Structures are given as structure tokens and as C-alpha cells.
Amino acid sequence: MTSVCKKIFFVIFVILLSGLVSGCPRPDVIVPPGPPEEGFLLGPEDVIEVVVWKNQDLSKQVVIRPDGKVSLPLIGDVPASGLTADQLAEEIEERYKAFKENPAVSVNVIEVNSYYVFVVGEVNSPGKLQMKSYTTILQAVSLAGGFTQFASTNDMRIIRNVINGDGKVKELRIPVRYDDLISDDGAAYNVTLQSGDTIVVP
């Protein structure tokens, strides 16, 4: 093989290799987890309708209190925050079994008030965004009016409070790069935000 051919093959190899590397997610980027796949998690101030089949006296529309509970006839306070509507319905059914034979309960979400995020820093309309459905990073930035001309879009952070195994609250600071969000692999980085998340745009 001539030296010219060797050089051509080498150049082709380098180009292919660089393409493979650029197509892989960057190992130094932490992708924050989104909400669970099983469904919307209820939270304080959400309005729900509890329907007990063939029993209007037990069926009612309630607002989840700040402590995450709802008050229902006969069974009193029931924890609701952090559960899906189906999970809450199962819990209420179990409690009503002490008073009714084979109760059938359904829970409908009437109004979502517990899902919100904050976008602060170099965006045109910083502040709290009250959402009615799950929202991604790019959607939240767009709803906040987009970046200002001074934004350092590759130095963003998501601040998230999580509860450790010992019950203590820990603050996570997750780096976010705009270039990653709009890349070919952007879907892996443009995750759905959790309620209470704060996007900081320096």
C-alpha cells in the first residue's frame, strides 16, 4: 500500500472515530431523573374527586391539605401527597373495607396546583411557573421568556431538594448545558422537571 493510500485511510479512520465519539453522551454530564413513569404524583393544593361507587354520601371533592392529607367521611385523614390517583384509590378502598363490603373507589384529578418550577437568572421573565402538566427544561426556559443576551447557557444548574434515607433534605446542584439539550442526543438531557426544581441561568 502506498504512503498516499495509508494517509487517506488514516484520515477516514479519524473522521469515523470522531463521529462515533461525538454521538455518545458525555460521561461528565449528570442527567437528572424525571418524575416516575407510573403517573402524576399528587401534592398539596391539588383538587381531587373521590368517588365511592353507589354511595354519594362518601363521594366528595376535596383539596389536598398542606400536610399532604385529605379528610374523608368515616375514615378521617388519609395521606395523599406523593401517591398517584390509582394508588390513593387503593388506599381509600382498603380503609373503607372496615365499613363497607367490597367498596369500589376511584380518584379523579380535577385541578393540578402542586406542580411548579422556578426559573431564575438571565431569562426574560424569571420567577415561579405554575404548571398543569409535566414540563421539560427547554419548555420551562421558553415559558420564562427565553434567555437574555447575557446568559451563559452552558453553565446552567438545576437545584433540587431530595430527601435522604435518614429523612434529611439534601440540595442537589445538577449541571445543564444548552448545547447538550439541543444536540442529537438532546432527549436524554432535556428531562422532565420535578415539582420544586429551580433552573438557574447565570
pLDDT tens digits, one per residue of 138-166 = 999 999 999 999 999 999 999 999 878 78
126 and 68 within one domain = no
DSSP state, residue 125:
S
Final residue of a structural domain among 56, 87, 111: 111
* Confidence at residue 50, expressed as pLDDT on a 0 to 100 scale: 97
Rounded to whole angstroms, how far apart are CA atoms 156 and 58? 49
At 51, list the grid cell: 368517588
196 and 123 within one domain = yes
Domain count, the chain: 2
* Confidence at residue 47, expressed as pLDDT on a 0 to 100 scale: 97
CATH number of the domain to which 82 belongs: 3.30.1950.10
Length of the chain: 202
pTM equals: 0.70
94 and 125 within one domain = no
192 and 142 within one domain = yes
* Confidence at residue 39, expressed as pLDDT on a 0 to 100 scale: 74
Q: Does some domain include residue 164?
A: yes
CB-based contact 185:27 (threshold 8 Å): no
**Cβ contacts of 89 within 8 Å, gap of 6 or more:** 50, 105, 106, 107
124 and 181 within one domain = yes
**Tens place of pLDDT for every residue, the chain, 202 residues?**
555 454 444 444 444 444 444 444 444 444 555 554 457 899 999 999 999 999 999 999 999 999 999 999 999 999 999 999 999 999 999 999 999 999 999 999 999 999 999 999 999 999 999 998 889 999 999 999 999 999 999 999 999 998 787 878 899 999 999 999 999 998 999 999 999 999 999 9
Q: Does some domain include residue 95?
A: yes
Q: Does some domain include residue 78?
A: yes
Q: Which domain holds residue 54?
A: 47-111
197 and 152 within one domain = yes
User: Starting at the edge strand that comes first in sequence, how are the strands of the sheet with 60-63 ordered?
Assistant: 60-63, 47-52, 105-111
191 and 136 within one domain = yes
Q: Does some domain include residue 61?
A: yes
125 and 67 within one domain = no
Q: Does some domain include residue 51?
A: yes
189 and 119 within one domain = yes
88 and 128 within one domain = no
167 and 132 within one domain = yes
Q: Does some domain include residue 57?
A: yes
